[in-house]
A and B are shown apart, each in its own frame.
Chain A
Amino acid sequence: MKPLIHPINDFNLDEAKELLLGPQNIDLDRIIIDNLAVERTAIRESNNEKKVYFYNESLERLRKYGYERHLRPNEAFNIIIDALEHQESNYKEICKDMMSSSGEWLSIAIERDKDFLICYLDPEFIILEDNNYNTTNISSADKIKFYIGDGIQSNDWVSLKEFPKDFTAFLLSKSFFDLPDKMKIGENEIRIYLPENGIWPMAYRHLDLAYNIIEYSKHSASRGVKKYARSINNR
């Protein structure tokens, strides 16, 4: 029997079967920001600007400090959105640090394949060689392909509202229209700057002129994150 649709992503079907067989049918897809320990401030230079790193250098640095990876896009935007929406948000300080100075690495690399975007979540082995990234040996926790249609330009700032809803939800955990005004209206509109060729690590940047940008980058600032296990006693 053939599926009605063809798979574009490499799913772990055994894991899915285990889940379906189990009585609890647990939802594993949701990421809960509360279970993450996020580096409170990015490393800064003496002039108070954030220190920028190549992607692999940044990964090495944060691991040296006991972190596992950079923030995934949805984690980074959960922090920002929470801080923008709630006066009493716990993330106000982190958000302020994230939105100042240089952009910061996200735990995602993106490849443009005509009408598709291939997203590599938690990418590894993006190595700087001769001032360019070599991604020949890239590996990732997940590789997800999105159809974006043929009207999206690369190397241009394109509003996220132009993208299919599933891609926006993947990046932001929200639809574009559910974003706070400071991320969707006028100059604040969140935009993405896609590469035309090759696999590129992505960074988030907030410009003083009120642009929110996700862009492919060569060097960006570094902020680590690690999961911490909650014991029952801590609840």
Chain B
Amino acid sequence: MAKTESQKVHEIYGLIGERGLYVNTNLDLFGGPTKDVTILTSGYTVQLADKETYSYASPLLFAALTSLLNYGTMLITGAPGIGKTTSAEYAGHFFSGVPLDKIIQAELLGNPNLTEEKTIAYYDTAKLIKEGVRSVIPTEFLRCPVKIWDEINRTPPDLLSVAMKLVDTGKATYQGVTLKSAVGPLFATANYSDEGTFQLTAPFLDRFDIAVMVTSPPASDLEKIRNRGDEKLGNNLENLLEIPEGLKLNNEQIKKEINALPEQTEKGIGIVYPFIDFIYANLRFSEIASDNILRATKGNAWSINQDNAPTGHFQDHTSTYTINELSIRTIRAIQRYAKAFAWFTGKDKITIKDVETILPYALWHKIQPTKAALEENAKFSNDRISFVRNLTKSIKEEYYSLLSDANVKFYYAALDILKDGKFNNQDLNIDQVNTITSNAIERLGRIDKVWALILINHLANEYNLFINKKNEASNTPYK
């Protein structure tokens, strides 16, 4: 029987490790349930996979998934010399089918002397001199389907702003000419800060769909790396780079399959996207931003943020653990990678667990923890992945406590009325709809939780839209 595309991707993933090309058994990501075992003396925890659960190393796994998406963008951070660039190069080669030589040739190395001409495009000088025509030639980097920007944080900030558009849209502008880069992934590596690096800004980091922290391979992996052979002693890697005939990927088919994956449903209602939306709503809330619920968002807390705000009413809420909110771009990336991960692990639908699994990697480089969060656990300052994982756990608990609350029925009931203004197939008058909405808001308002405010805000918006529609239908003059 012919292999499915996801089986082939799995096999390639395994092959890269078996051939000793990327060896790292820091298996930090799981395709199914696990059991935590806490070490009593030190408090550290190890995760043990349940039977039928596969475990993966996040750098290679996400490099694989990123290679399978159109214009996927991935940031790879970590100490120097532990396989950041290697994972991107091999994943790019094996999952996109681009020869490794071509990938390496097109690679950019961040440095203070990098210019637009070396990065994006340059004029065809021969043509300019001979014919006086300004013809723009895209760089190898732009033309290569697998783009690797090594040590990106050594690139000067003004060039990074040019790169921002490229990372975001796959397009770049040179001297007024917009160029479309070859479809494929973009990997950027960044060492931790030193005297030669520039600070990557929050808007720039937000452009990366996913990010991993590469950890040095454990000592037990070194034997396998030694066995691969040493290129500097004349060992040839050519045959190790060969992609077996039966494992050539149909990338278009893969994208179609990933895109078609539906979300898990309960009683016919999708349950995954509402969970993502709740995370967005929860992290977006900022009490200090405004007394108006509509403007009570972190994006509006521009003068006083969560770190320098006086103590508010909601002191222990998950929203108080982050300074910033999530962009729409991030929400779309979460959905995209959750789909890709579910597909990779052979599921026929995305589950909440898939979202939980990829979320730390989609958010850790974007979310800024507050002082309060870091005071709870100073290690979160280094290990942002654990920070997001803990945050996600708390948000999930809050989400399900909301779903279990009996008062939520008033939200559903009012929303149902606002659909068409009917109850038991009879039209309600506007006063009755107003009574229902006001009473539902009053009932939800008894719950002293941020999520109650989120639901109240939704009801108020839907009610106002309902009145707009009624007014339009009855040609009520604008006032």
Chain A residues at the B interface, C-beta cutoff of 8 Å: 1-9, 11-14, 16-17, 19-21, 23, 25, 29, 114, 116, 144-147, 149-151, 164-167, 170
* Nearest chain A CB to B477 CB, angstrom units: 26
Q: Is the interface of A mostly helix, strand, loop or mixed?
A: loop
User: Does B312 count as interface, using CB distance less than 8 angstroms?
Assistant: no
Cα of A2 to Cα of B407 in the assembled complex, Å: 18
Q: How far is the CA of A110 from the CA of B271 in the complex (A)?
A: 23
What's the count of A-B pairs with C-beta under 8 Å?
113
Top 10 A-B pairs, shortest CB-CB distance: A147-B400, A11-B409, A16-B413, A20-B439, A20-B436, A166-B401, A6-B271, A16-B409, A8-B403, A17-B413
Residues of B within 8 Å of A25, CB to CB, are 439, 442-443
Q: How far is the CA of A1 from the CA of B33 in the complex (A)?
A: 34
Partner of B399, one of A2, A5, A7, A13: A5
Cα separation A25 to B436 with both chains bound (whole Å): 10
Asked if A17 contacts B417 (CB within 8 A), the reply is yes
Q: Given A20-B414, A20-B439, A7–B277 Cβ distance below 8 Å? A: no
User: Does the CB pair B36–A21 fall under 8 Å?
Assistant: no
Most B CB within 10 A of own CB, among A2, A16, A166: A16
Indicate whether B148 reaches chain A with its CB closer than 8 angstroms.
Answer: no
Q: Which residues of B contact A (CB under 8 A)?
A: 33, 36, 266-267, 269-271, 274, 277-278, 281, 393, 396-397, 399-419, 423-424, 428, 432, 435-436, 439-440, 442-443, 454-455, 458, 462
Complex-state Cα separation, A150 to B424, whole angstroms: 41
Closest residue of chain A to B458 (Cβ to Cβ) is: A4
Q: Judging by beta carbons under 8 Å apart, are B404 and A146 in contact?
A: yes
- Report how far A163 CA is from B270 CA in the complex, Å: 26
Shortest Cβ gap from A74 to chain B (Å): 13
Contact B439 A3 (CB under 8 A): no
Q: A17-B423, A20-B440 are in contact. Are A5 and B36 (CB under 8 A)?
A: no
Contact call A13/B409, Cβ cutoff below 8 A:
yes
Contact A16 B271 (CB under 8 A): no
Most B C-beta atoms less than 10 A away, residue of A4, A114, A149 = A4
A20 and B402 contact, CB distance less than 8 A: no
Q: State whether B455 touches A6 (Cβ < 8 A).
A: no
Rounded to whole Å, the gap between the CB of A141 and the closest CB of chain B is 13
> CA–CA, A25 to B274, complex, Å?
29
